[in-house]
Amino acid sequence: DAGITQSPRHKVTETGTPVTLRCHQTENHRYMYWYRQDPGHGLRLIHYSYGVKDTDKGEVSDGYSVSRSKTEDFLLTLESATSSQTSVYFCAISESKRSSYNEQFFGPGTRLTVL
Amino acid sequence: QKEVEQDPGPLSVPEGAIVSLNCTYSNSAFQYFMWYRQYSRKGPELLMYTYSSGNKEDGRFTAQVDKSSKYISLFIRDSQPSDSATYLCAMTGSGNTPLVFGKGTRLSVIA
């Protein structure tokens, strides 16, 4: 398995509280991604990073921010959690190869419940 | 219309059956086509990858891409209970652009 860990694995929080999810990799891959997975919607990209301090928005970025100060860590922050952010969050990593597709390796997921 | 459409199922088949899973897409710039398998409460893992049109076979699995019809398929021969999972199609236009996923099809193979 690719060396990707996510923490916490489960979290229950209340509406309005800040939440930070952490993704840690030991593969030294350049690209890191945050997705959310919901019934009826599949996997949707929230934000991604293509290097330290280099990030970009995905399809569903509203209400989320990210930071990447080290190659191995990518943080996802919900500044003020809402019930609509109840979901399973997956981190993924990939290497940079200009000439071919970069396989994405996924972490085990974080199950977040916002009450 | 979403860029990638995939029937969510669920799909239930007897052991040994041939399974056909499909996705359609609207973006003609897509060139890389993937199938991911996701077991319950796990992260997705890459099953098959195809570049542009054509077929690719790996054991009991065959991936097909028809770019003219914007249609991709995954066939599973001699399906096994261990194939029970959610199968997600994904695609992208180039190596470093983010993937666009289908909603996933939940498959159950009954022994």
pLDDT attached to residue A47: 96
Contact A103 B32 (CB under 8 A): no
pLDDT of residue B101: 93
pLDDT tens digits for range B70-94: 999 999 999 999 999 999 999 988 7
| A96: three-class secondary structure by DSSP | coil
Residues B9-60: tens digit of each pLDDT:
899 999 999 999 999 999 999 999 999 999 999 999 999 989 888 899 999 9
Contact: A101, B92; criterion CB under 8 Å:
yes
Check if B91 contacts A (Cβ < 8 Å).
no
Q: Which residues of A touch B104 (CB under 8 A)?
A: 42-43
Best CA proximity match to B8, nearest among B110, B106, B88, B111 = B106
**pLDDT (tens digit, 9 = 90+) per residue, B58-67?**
999 999 999 9
What is the structure's pLDDT at A1? 56
* pLDDT, position A99: 56
Contact A48 B98 (CB under 8 A): yes
Cα–Cα distance measured from residue B35 to residue A74, given in angstroms and rounded to the nearest whole number: 25
Q: Looking at residue B98, what is its pLDDT? A: 83
Q: Does B99 touch chain A (CB under 8 A)?
A: yes
B85 Cβ contact list (under 8 Å, min separation 6): B37, B38, B39, B40, B106, B107
Closest CA to A34 of A93, A111, A91: A91
Contact criterion met (CB below 8 Å) for B71 and B6: no
CA B82 to mean position of chain CA atoms:
16
Residue from A82, A76, A80, A83 nearest A109 by CA:
A76
**Per-residue pLDDT at A102:** 72
- Per-residue confidence (pLDDT) for residue B60, from 0 to 100: 97
What's the pLDDT at B1? 61
Q: Which residue(s) pair with B63 in the sheet?
A: B56, B74
Tell me, yes or no, if A70 comes closer than 8 A to chain B by beta carbon.
no
In the predicted model, residues of chain A with pLDDT beneath 70 are 1-2, 96-101
Amino acid at B23: C
Angle, vertex CA B75, rays to CA B71 and CA B78, nearest 5: 170
CA distance B11 to chain A (A): 15
d(CA B72, CA A82): 36
Closest Cα to residue B99, out of A17, A48, A10, A6? Answer: A48
